[in-house]
Amino acid sequence: MAESMIPLNDVRSMKRVNSIGTNSDIDFQSDGEEDTLEYRLQAMDPSGKKKVSLWHDISLVHIDVETKHETSYLNFVCEIPKFTR
């Protein structure tokens, strides 16, 4: 049996309705005392009513704040705490 290649759709053509493409669409709420193990940071939408998942709601492609168009930059989220390995 011969191997066949199946083309994938262009990733940029797949749109998520609720994706966040820039940090101007995110507010952060903190809980606990900074620099302690109890400190937590939660991303929220600007209304403060809906939690934003930094893994699932941030689009890979950055969106320019002024033009609302995709740029050549990519978004990156790192969840490794400071000063740890």
Rg over CA atoms, the chain: 18
> What is the residue whose two structure tokens read 């704040």?
65
Distances (CA, A) of 73 to 3, 21, 29, 68: 35, 10, 26, 13
Higher-confidence position of 20 and 74: 74
Whether residue 67 is predicted with pLDDT greater than 90 in this model: the reply is no
39 contacts 30 by C-beta, under 8 angstroms: yes
Express each pLDDT in 14-59 by its tens digit: 555 556 766 667 888 899 998 888 888 888 888 888 888 877 888 8
Question: For residue 65, what are the contacts with CB-CB under 8 A and spacing of at least 6?
Answer: 22, 24
